Structure formats: C-alpha cells, structure tokens
Structure 1
Amino acid sequence: MQPMSLLVTTCVLFVGTHFALSHPLRAPLAGRMGERAFLIIYSIVAIATFIMVVQAWRGMPPEPPLWVAGDALWAFASLLVLFASVLFMGSLIGNPALPAPNAAFAAQGAPRGVYAITRHPMMWGFALWAFAHALVMPTPAQFILSGMIAFLALAGSAGQDVKKARLMGDSWRHWAARTSFVPFARQLGGAPWGDTLPRPHALFGGIVLWIAATWAHGALGYMVAGIWRWIG
C-alpha cells in the first residue's frame, strides 16, 4: 500500500472505530460484557489504531509545503495553540461534558471562563491545535492528520451534545441553552465578553502547558515552535 493510502486508511480506521464504539456499539457491547470490560476493549482499540496512525505518519516521504510559513503565520499559529492550551486546561475542572459524577451539578452553574467561550473547550482545544499545525506545515499528509483530529473533536462534540441530553436531560439542555458550541458565538450575539476571562488555573496552566509543549517540540527533534523560534 502506498504511504498516503496507508495514512488515509489508518485515519479512517481510527475515527471509524472511535465513533462506532462511542455511539451505536457502546450500549449493546457494554450491556453484554459489562461497562468495565467494554472500557478496556475501547481503550485497546483506540490505542492500537492510534499507533497505526502514528506509524503511517512516520512512514510518509518528505513533501514540499504548499506555502511558506513565515514569521507572521508562525506567530498567529503559536497564539492559536496558546489559546487552545488555555481552553484545554480550563476544561479539566467543572466540565459538565466530561463523564464525571458531578456533571449535573456543574451544569447548574453560570458559564464562566472557558465555558462562556464554548461548552466544549477541550474538543475545540484539540481542533484549534490541529488547525495551527496545518497552517505552519502545509503538506497533504499534515492536512489529512489535522483534518482527522479536528473532525474527531468537533463531530465528537456534536455527538456529546446528543448523548448528554439523553443522559442528563434538562440539566444538559439548560446548560446548552446558556452556552454556545462555536467559540464566542454568544458574545457576538450580545452576551457580555467579561464572562469569558479565563480562570487562573486555565490561564496560567495553559501558558505553562504551551511553553512546555512548544519547548518539547524542538527538544524532541521536530520543528522549533512557539516562542522558542525567536529566543532559542
């Protein structure tokens, strides 16, 4: 199989098994084998297919970029990843979308910080991270990989809305009515911008994550990223 065909195949396999096991197959399999056994199988399949994607990615031959990523584009992409990092760190506390026992209680609070930006800050963090990588590494293989990650994150968020409405009922529907799927959509519609100010754990945690991740990018032999492109 050609390297590009292998990359596409493994990406489709990763996304397909994820959605199949997260939605149509979850209830019948979990009911038959038990929730604990199902989660073990789910994790094994997810890890195995992800490793296949990584191996296919590593096997891709060098490709010429479709455009030159200059300093301005790198600066924009770096800020985009910083924003994605803040969204991700903010999503780790008080997130009704996560399968936590206190999800219904968290959904009763007023959306603040990253949740005033979007009710799916973690997934949008992944999607924006993928988009930023496509901007500064504009090759067909990167487009496929970034597209897979962004699609999985955003389509998964849409599926999460449906699942949470079924599991949490009015608690989730009220939360969804006070939040937006697309970042800043409520603010553009008239909601106060002040509510979107990230909380300390999101802001400072996101900055630390961004600095560490971009440093590791270069330290592990990949392209130098973030502030390290200018201060290294």
Structure 2
Amino acid sequence: MTDIGLLIVAVSLFVGSHEVLSHPLRAPLVRAIGEKGFLLLYSIVALGSLAWAILIWRAIPPDRLWDTPGWAYAVAPALMLFAAILFVGSVTAPNPALMGMPSGGSPRGVQRITRHPMMWSFAIWAIVHIALSADSRTIVLASGILVLALFGARMQDIKKRAATPGYGEHIRATGFIPFGAQLRGRLPWSSAMPGMVAALGGLVLWALLLWGHPLVVGVPALRFG
C-alpha cells in the first residue's frame, strides 16, 4: 500500500469511528460502560486515529497538484479569521444543536450566523487548506475533516430533532450554512453579529494561529502569491 493509501485508511478510521461512536453505538455503549467510560473510549479512539493520520501525513513528502492564484492568499486569512470567530463563539455559549443542551429561546451570537458554528469552523479550515496547499496528503487529511464536520452537523440535526421535538423551532430560526437564515429571510442581516466575546476571542485565536503556523507546520500562514 502506498503512503497516500495508508493515509486514506487512517483518515477513514478517524471519520468512521467518530460517526459510529457518536450515533449508532453511543447509546448501547453508555448503557454498558457509563457516560464517563464512553467519553474515555471515544477520546482514545478519536485522538489515537487522528494522531496516526497526522504522523503519516508528516512522513509523506509534500507535492503540488495546481498553482494557487495570488488572490486566494489574500482571501484565506479573512476566512480563517471568520472560522476562528465561529469556533470561539461555539465554545463560549451553549449550543442548542448539541445533545443534552436546551433548544428553547432565540438563537444568539454565532448561532444566528449558523447553528453549527464549531463544525463550520473546521469545514472552513479544511476548505482553505485544500485550496492553498494543493498537496495530495493535505487534501486527504483536510477532506476527512471537511466530511466529518458537515456530515456530523447534519447528523446532529437529525438526532437532536428526533430526541427533542422543540428543536424543530431552532432549525426554522437558524441556517445550516453560514448566513443561511439571513439569505432565506428568517433573520435580519443586522442579526449576523457574532458578539463581542466571539469577535475579540476569535481575533486573539487567529493571531495565535498566524504566529504558530510556521512553528508547527513549517510554512508561514500569510503568503502573497
């Protein structure tokens, strides 16, 4: 098996194990080993499979399948800032899309931009890195994260709606894609503000990512063609 083939296997294990453990196997495993036992098992499998994929990724020499246009390097930092704001907003306020969280009340903060802010922060990260890197190994790794983020978000909606009838109101009041609620007229454009905590926290996170990118990955995050 080629190195890229092995990376595909590792990424598929990471994505597949996440979906299987999060959905069909979650309830029976929780009954068998308890919530804490399930979280421990889930963390071991998720972190182990992701670490394996990253180790393989690092061992594969980079290549380049296309020439990225210069304008993409100017757009990418703005997209990553948006992703950082969504991520910070997702961890600083309860998300009604998650199991166990109440789904009543009006959406707030980044939930008015998308009801799955964390998932979209990962998806945007993946899209940006696929477009800029044009690198086979990065395309495989980032594509797995992209699929996991968007498919996982859809599965969250299905699972939460089945378990919580009132969640349908949250779906109708929000959008799946960023700014989807505004485009469909469900929310006014004036509502598409992330809030001060998400905006400032996202800016700090974005700055840290820019600073740390060359230290971790070996290439600067800001490039100009």
Task: Establish whether TM, by shorter chain, passes 0.5.
Answer: yes
Q: Which residue of structure 2 aligns with residue 2 of structure 1?
A: 2
Q: Choose which of 140, 151, 156 in structure 2 pairs with 1:160.
A: 156
Q: Which residue of structure 2 aligns with residue 60 of structure 1?
A: 60
Structure-2 separation of matches of 1:225 and 1:42: 32
Q: Which residue of structure 2 aligns with residue 119 of structure 1?
A: 115
Q: Which residue of structure 1 aligns with residue 74 of structure 2?
A: 75
Structure-1 separation of matches of 2:137 and 2:216: 20
In the comparison of the two structures, how many residue pairs are matched? Answer: 222
> SS at 2:209's partner residue?
helix
Structure-1 separation of matches of 2:56 and 2:136: 14
Structure-1 separation of matches of 2:43 and 2:126: 22
Give unmatched runs, 5+ long, in structure 2: none
Structure-1 separation of matches of 2:216 and 2:53: 19
Q: Which residue of structure 2 aligns with residue 183 of structure 1?
A: 178
Could you tell me how far 1:69 is from its partner in structure 2?
4.6
Could you tell me how far 1:197 is from its partner in structure 2?
1.1
Q: Choose which of 194, 217, 223 in structure 1 pairs with 2:190.
A: 194
Structure-2 separation of matches of 1:209 and 1:91: 13
Deviation readout 1:69-94 (Å, 9 max, x if unpaired): 52x21110111110001111111113
Q: Which residue of structure 2 aligns with residue 24 of structure 1?
A: 24
Which amino acid is the alignment partner of residue 175 of structure 1? H
**Which stretch shifts more, 28-37 or 201-210?**
28-37
Q: Does the 8 Å CA contact 1:69/1:137 hold for their aligned counterparts?
A: no
Q: Which residue of structure 2 aligns with residue 45 of structure 1?
A: 45
Deviation readout 1:148-190 (Å, 9 max, x if unpaired): 11110010001111121233331x1111111111111121122
> SS at 1:34's partner residue?
helix
Structure-2 separation of matches of 1:183 and 1:8: 29
**Which stretch shifts more, 151-160 or 36-45?**
36-45
> SS at 2:178's partner residue?
coil
Structure-1 separation of matches of 2:200 and 2:114: 19
**Which stretch shifts more, 20-29 or 199-208?**
20-29
Q: Does the 8 Å CA contact 2:62/2:135 hold for their aligned counterparts?
A: no
> SS at 1:217's partner residue?
helix
Could you tell me how far 1:32 is from its partner in structure 2?
1.6
Structure-1 separation of matches of 2:84 and 2:56: 26
Structure-2 separation of matches of 1:127 and 1:111: 21
Q: Does the 8 Å CA contact 1:111/1:179 hold for their aligned counterparts?
A: yes
Work out whether 1:110 is the aligned partner of 2:106. yes
> SS at 2:64's partner residue?
coil
Scaled by the length of structure 1, the TM-score of the pair is 0.90
Which amino acid is the alignment partner of residue 15 of structure 2? V
Could you tell me how far 1:221 is from its partner in structure 2?
5.1
**Which stretch shifts more, 211-220 or 2-11?**
211-220
Q: Does the 8 Å CA contact 2:114/2:174 hold for their aligned counterparts?
A: yes
